[in-house]
Structure 1
């Protein structure tokens, strides 16, 4: 039977750490915790669970700290969790079953970020002990479970990911319907964390001006701050390096639409269709582009685009209605 290491980095997490380790202890064969400078009881709590604790000075680099934990893991598989996260017992059992299959070298789990107020892309849920009485969460799928291999390491100072190194090493990434419940956002100072993460993002760009992920995140931060010109600058830099990254051209187009820069928005939507034709956003890209074509007097282009879209996305209501309006016009 394959074995499992739980790897974590912590700092002043005494509020959460016991809950996380209580849920995990019977399912993991080893606990490796990197403490980056706690002044509370975090180290003492970790040691009480038999964890291998490595004390490491904080260097403003989440990936580097997590990789130290990976370097000290000795079991067949690695599970990465934060202290304010939890996996329920039945889901842990399903997770363990994955370890003895040969279907993949890593698995994306569903991180459920519970929040006080919902927004676009959030999922409603029934308040319970599991949700800590939250009524909604934002689901994000990311690799948290993978084989213990030296070449599988995290990248980026902040919003760190392991996916690229797994793929670069030829690893197979599978999908698992196992939720990881994340509670910290419910109780944290979101504004402070956002500012700190932004600082780390810009520091990452200083380290590597070609880091597409950092450039894209910098654009998102600038957009949230209302600094549209700077946001577009970062998004365009990202697109120039990897035009297919996170459907960046779709993001650029939406910003340009908000600025009523129609011709530029049309070109950006067209680039989105070229580089991300199978994106989940493709129906919206096509619909928005058709509307811009029509508003710019290019009704034949709009009709042709919507006719093709009707065949590709026959159940999309917005595309069907806009096609009907153009025919009737």
Structure 2
């Protein structure tokens, strides 16, 4: 952001027209830089031009789907006048239109295919069904406009099946949609817009979509899958399962430009009941085993084999596979999923209460990716459990000091305050650290008058009273 400090300074000092002029020039040079669009949107909002600002913020969000400003800004725009039309902003937003095919790889998806295709109407120029079904999937799909069917013979290879489909794509771009996914209605225009925006990229773009995975009543957001790319620039799929897109050089290269975009797909295929009914994990494990036999040095195969093993409860097999994935991944410079390997390893050893090993994996993850939020969070979980264990050990030691005291006959005199008040008040401290303030207060009050204890325990009682007042005030504050 340092290269834009001058523009930021102009906005902060209310030189809005000058900032706008600078931003127009900067965006023309770097149209894929989401932050420039955000700054232009802010400048337009400050000039009471919410209509033009919304168009600009829409582009910014398309380019940065994980942006944190979205809810705040869109809510603020509701209170600001629309302003006059801005044809110059529209000219800045303009990109030449390109054509897009939505390709769907399907096998016996009669229950979902109609919903999937209906959601794509108006979003793409053609829908290509690459189909190996034995049920009504094909006939149901053919009832909709723009649908073209490519029948295939299923040969236990998702990558090969998709590559057959790519041979039939005649548009500029392709986006792959699974039959159990539904495009969010608000993103119908986003598919063509994203393709047009990235179409002029010198490096071949490979765009990650935004999955809203519905699992056990929750929604998990995932940006890991490349689904959209130019159809005529030499990209193909590699892998029988969890297939990856790449050029002929292979998947661990720097010849594609990977970026997440705001194309949201509502997906229910990871629901446990769906996974179980279709036997997906067992199928995936079988195909991954074949891939490991064919390509034993690929860390991605071992990662996915470990992940699917974990999903089936094969914890030892998962751990062994993930350790191998770590070894190979560290030897593969452009392998990008080391944080995921460490996350699974941490979760396994944490479940086994091997906290020192979990902590070591956390530090490895942070050494590889210092800004990986999951590693920071899991390290906190490890330390809290270590703290719980230490507190339990402390309680055991305190009780042991009490049981040892009556029988002690050593030459070094014991501290008899341990029996009179120190051990009991130490248990009060443990209660206090565990949030059991009432119990701690009861203990401290009981022993406060003991010789040598008054000053120490009075201070602790003051701390408890302060905390009690703070909690009462917090409860009395109005809730939003």
TM-score range, shorter chain: 0.7 to 0.9
1:106 corresponds in structure 2 to 206
User: Is the 8 Å Cα contact of residues 63 and 154 (structure 1) preserved in structure 2?
Assistant: yes
Give the secondary structure class of the aligned counterpart of 1:281: helix
Flag the 1:229–1:94 CA change in 2: closer, same or farther, 3 A: closer
Give the secondary structure class of the aligned counterpart of 2:263: strand
- Answering whether residue 186 of structure 2 is matched by residue 93 of structure 1, we say no
Q: Note the alpha carbon deviations across 1:78-132, whole angstroms, 9 max, x for none.
A: 11111222214431112222222248623222112224x24xxxxxxxxxxxxxx
User: Is the 8 Å Cα contact of residues 152 and 166 (structure 1) preserved in structure 2?
Assistant: no
- Answering whether residue 241 of structure 2 is matched by residue 241 of structure 1, we say no
Structure 1, gaps ≥5 residues long: 119-135, 298-320, 322-329
Q: TM-score, normalised by structure 2?
A: 0.52
Give the secondary structure class of the aligned counterpart of 1:168: coil
User: Is the 8 Å Cα contact of residues 249 and 269 (structure 1) preserved in structure 2?
Assistant: yes
Flag the 1:261–1:184 CA change in 2: closer, same or farther, 3 A: closer
2:244 corresponds in structure 1 to 161
- Answering whether residue 225 of structure 2 is matched by residue 140 of structure 1, we say no
1:73 corresponds in structure 2 to 169
Q: What pairs up with 1:221-300 in 2 under 5 angstroms?
A: 221-243=308-330, 245-287=338-380
Work out the number of aligned pairs and report it.
281
| C-alpha RMSD of the superposition | 3.2
Rounded to whole Å, the distance in 1 between the matches of 2:165 and 2:184 is 23
User: Is the 8 Å Cα contact of residues 151 and 166 (structure 1) preserved in structure 2?
Assistant: no
1:310 corresponds in structure 2 to none
1:35 corresponds in structure 2 to 131
Give the secondary structure class of the aligned counterpart of 2:229: strand
2:298 corresponds in structure 1 to 211
Q: Note the alpha carbon deviations across 1:135-177, whole angstroms, 9 max, x for none.
A: x322221222221144322332223333796883622222222
2:39 corresponds in structure 1 to none
Structure 2, gaps ≥5 residues long: 1-96, 331-336, 391-432, 434-480
**Alpha-carbon distance, 1:75 to partner:** 0.7
- Give the alignment partner of residue 58 of structure 1, picking from 154, 162, 169: 154
Give the secondary structure class of the aligned counterpart of 2:130: strand
Flag the 1:293–1:67 CA change in 2: closer, same or farther, 3 A: same
**Alpha-carbon distance, 1:286 to partner:** 4.5
- Give the alignment partner of residue 177 of structure 1, picking from 252, 262, 265: 262
Q: Note the alpha carbon deviations across 1:258-308, whole angstroms, 9 max, x for none.
A: 3344544443333222222221223235435666888999xxxxxxxxxxx
- Answering whether residue 112 of structure 2 is matched by residue 26 of structure 1, we say no
Rounded to whole Å, the distance in 1 between the matches of 2:275 and 2:344 is 24
Give the secondary structure class of the aligned counterpart of 1:213: helix
Flag the 1:226–1:182 CA change in 2: closer, same or farther, 3 A: closer
Rounded to whole Å, the distance in 2 between the matches of 1:7 and 1:284 is 38
Give the secondary structure class of the aligned counterpart of 1:64: helix
Flag the 1:57–1:169 CA change in 2: closer, same or farther, 3 A: farther
Rounded to whole Å, the distance in 1 between the matches of 2:370 and 2:322 is 19
Rounded to whole Å, the distance in 2 between the matches of 1:207 and 1:256 is 29
User: Is the 8 Å Cα contact of residues 78 and 145 (structure 1) preserved in structure 2?
Assistant: yes
Give the secondary structure class of the aligned counterpart of 2:227: strand
Rounded to whole Å, the distance in 1 between the matches of 2:387 and 2:381 is 10
Give the secondary structure class of the aligned counterpart of 1:162: strand
Q: Which has the higher contact order (CA 8 A, sep 6+)?
A: 1
Q: TM-score, normalised by structure 1?
A: 0.73
Larger Rg: 2
2:91 corresponds in structure 1 to none
- Give the alignment partner of residue 109 of structure 2, picking from 6, 10, 13: 13
Flag the 1:263–1:27 CA change in 2: closer, same or farther, 3 A: closer
User: Is the 8 Å Cα contact of residues 163 and 236 (structure 2) preserved in structure 1?
Assistant: yes
